[in-house]
Amino acid sequence: MLTIDISFRFNSREELRKQIVERLSEVERRATARKIDRAHVEAICDHVASSPHGVIRTDGGHVSKSYRYGAKTSHLMVAWLTYRGEKLVVVEASREWAQKVPYGSVAKMKHEANRLSAFSKFFPARAAKITNYLSCRKCRPAIAHLPKPPVRVVDVIPDVGGIVLAWSSDTHGWYVGTPSGWIKLNSWIKPPHSAWMALRDLGFPVPHKRDKRKWDEKMEAHMIMLKLAQ
């Protein structure tokens, strides 16, 4: 896979177009098919010149599943961000293996107008911190009735009976949150569909009917035995 990228300050539409075309010329030097449509390049230049931020991706199309041989296609990503009075641009062009899809596919252009998406292309570490903060803030109401989790929780799947299944970015693992505490699930076990199914896999006596599932003294007793066994 050949990838070429460059970042620079936006000065004019003509300069941007020149930078994009130069990058594409390098990666498509020996290519004869599935190249970036130059009409897409013109559309990208218009978007960058007229809006404060965004991310646009396009490709040269893919091949059908009946295609017998390996084939490569071009990929182009352009991100721009207005930061402290200047418009910054990053251009990434690459030549990669084409996907095999039903009936093939024509070139498509995907546009993200989200400022955070653009921000992440220039300041990935800071963007990751912002994303984690927003995820944690969104999760707080779903776990407010439970004890404080031992790790940072960034995704919560509520279940019946007041328990939750949660994902932690700190340990990259799944947890079950209950009124009696939190349980870390083994990383080698297949990710559970719900909190109750995870408890069932751990040996908890989970009722078959959903409306019968609740956190009671019996569940708390199994929780204590699980903690003592660890």
pLDDT value at residue 1? 64
Inter-residue contact 133 to 145 (CB < 8 Å): no
Interatomic CA distance for residues 212 and 161, integer angstroms: 9
Q: Where are the domains of the chain?
A: 2-126, 135-229
pLDDT value at residue 160? 92
The backbone region for 70, taken as left when phi is positive above 0, alpha when psi lies in -120 to 50, beta otherwise, is beta
* pLDDT under 70: residue ranges of the chain: 1-2, 104-105, 189, 230
Backbone angles phi, psi at 87, to 5 degrees: -100, 120
pLDDT value at residue 52? 95
Which residue in this structure is represented by tokens 């093939």?
104
Interatomic CA distance for residues 220 and 199, integer angstroms: 12
Q: What is the pLDDT of residues 103-114, one digit of tens each?
A: 766 778 999 999
Cα–Cα distance list, 76 to 9, 52, 73, 104 (Å): 18, 20, 10, 19
One-letter amino acid of 135:
S
pLDDT value at residue 104? 63
pLDDT value at residue 2? 67
Chain-centroid distance, C-alpha 119: 15
One-letter amino acid of 102:
P
Inter-residue contact 159 to 214 (CB < 8 Å): no
Cα–Cα distance list, 224 to 59, 94, 179 (Å): 55, 54, 12
Interatomic CA distance for residues 197 and 190, integer angstroms: 11
Q: Which two tokens stand for residue 133?
A: 């903060």
